[in-house]
Amino acid sequence: MPRKKKSPDTNTEIPLVWTDQPAKRQPALALCALAYIALGTVLIHAVFRHTGGLLPTVFGFLALAMSASRFFAPTKFTLDADGVRFEFLWMRHRMPWANVRSAEEGHDGVRLSPVSEAGLARNMRGMILPANANGEPSVARLVALVDRFATARTTARAAAPAAEEKVDA
C-alpha cells in the first residue's frame, strides 16, 4: 500500500501556545556564547583590576549576560484571535492583529511588524514568531494563522492609495 504524503501543518486552531529557547536548539552556539561572556568578563577584569576593583567586572559580566539572555532563557509565545503575545523573563509584549501592518515569511518563522514600509523601523518594532523547533508550529501553520487574522497588512492597505488616485484623476 503506498504511503500518503504528509500535508504541511496548516491547522488554524487557536489559541496556539509554544516555547522557544534557541540555546537548546543550538548547543554549539550556546557554548560559543558562554565562552564570549567568560572571555569578556576576564578582559574587563584585566583592564579594571587596578583602578575599579571588582565592581566593573561584576557590571561587565551582568551586561554581557543580559545581552545574551534572549538566547538562553525560554520565551513563551501565544497566538490567539486577539493578537500575538510573548513572555520573556519579566517582559511581556502584545501585538493586536489590528496593529500588524506587515508579515514576512522566513525560513525560521514569520516576522510581524506594525510598520508597513521596509526599513529599520519595521525591524526594530517587529516581532518574530519562531517555527520548526521544539515541537513548535511549522512556518506554513504560522503563515495560515497570520493570513487568517492579520487583515490590516500591507497587501490590504496597498489597495487604498490606488483608489484615492483614481478620484484625483
User: What CATH number does residue 112 fall under?
Assistant: 2.30.29
Per-residue pLDDT tens for 17-44? 888 888 988 999 999 999 999 999 999 9
pLDDT of residue 46: 92
The whole-number pLDDT of residue 154 equals: 59
Span of 8-12, 37-41, 111-115, 129-133 with lowest mean pLDDT: 8-12
Is 70 domain-assigned? yes
pLDDT grade for 101, boundaries at 50, 70 and 90: confident
Residue 5 resides in a domain: no
Residue 32: which residues within 8 A CB-CB, separation 6 or more? none
Q: How many domains does the chain have?
A: 1
**What is the rounded CA–CA span in Å between residue 17 and residue 13?**
11
Q: Residue 145: helix, strand or coil by DSSP?
A: helix
pLDDT tens-digit series, residues 55-76: 999 999 999 999 999 899 998 9
Which domain range does residue 50 map to? 16-159
